Amino acid sequence: MTPDGQTQQSRVSGAPSALRRVVFRGSLFAACYGLTLCVLLENWFLLAIPGLIGMVTIGGLVAVAITTHRASVEVPFATDGSDSRGPLAHHRSAVLKSYPLVLALVAVLVGLVVLVKSDYLIPLAPMAAAGFIMGTRSWLGQLLTLNQCARVLKVYRFTHRTPVKVLHRARGGKQLFRLGSGEHESPRLIGSQVGGEKDWGKRVGDEVWFAGDELFGGVLLVPGSGELVAVQPSDLPAVGPQRAAAAPDRQELAKKAGIGRSR
């Protein structure tokens, strides 16, 4: 199956799961909001505590989802490794456009609390605060990751790599994987995606475009979907001796690309 076919199939199969997430989150919001209203009842106010925790959690999750959402449309750049500027420009535009939506959500929630002046809307205040904090954190994190990718792509070009062995997910939606096989197999790498669905490993197939140095890190471009992934070795102490023994020009390139750090 072609990368485009894989992308199209993932969009179709992802629609029901997206609907289920919306229904689940809506039901969770209703339940948590109902519990927070128990604070108005003298004998049931303790039930408001889990409701409040739930509202804060939902606010943060919604804001993060806004900053990481990517529309399921064909990306406006080549995903065959021939274009390094297109992926950066596309993802940077998506990230920058997402933050005003977070601010708009926060403004609406705060406005309801301030203007309506109803005790029933007070639970929206901590939800707005959590949304602002978590949304800002997610947004800044993506910008930092994009800047890291841009620095790498100024030094290295994309090269075709196969096979790709996706191992398993790590904390924070990251993926562990290896590139190549046999004598050419890379150290175990960990990848952090710039926005989009976190299961990017399921959409990789058997090939990727890689820019960087396996011992130091780099950037992956997923064929078809155009996802960008910042990668580095998952066990930095283990590759330390190999880094130290690498040729000076190899170390210098990694340093210029900002991927020669020990942490």
> Is pTM beyond 0.85 here?
no
pLDDT tens-digit profile of 8-21? 444 444 455 667 87
pLDDT of residue 112: 93
pLDDT of residue 41: 80
- Strands 164-169, 175-179: pairing is antiparallel
pLDDT tens-digit profile of 143-168? 999 999 999 999 999 999 988 888 87
pLDDT band for position 254 (cuts 50, 70, 90): very high
- Strands 208-213, 189-193: pairing is unpaired
pLDDT tens-digit profile of 79-136? 898 999 999 999 999 999 999 999 999 999 999 999 998 888 888 999 999 999 999 9
Residue 57: closest CA among 131, 142, 132, 141 = 131
Reduced to 3 states (helix: H, G, I; strand: E, B; else coil), residue 164 is strand
pLDDT of residue 16: 56
Between CA 145 and CA 148 the distance in angstroms is 5
Residue 229: closest CA among 201, 255, 197, 192 = 192
Residues in the chain: 263
Mean pLDDT of the chain, nearest integer: 85
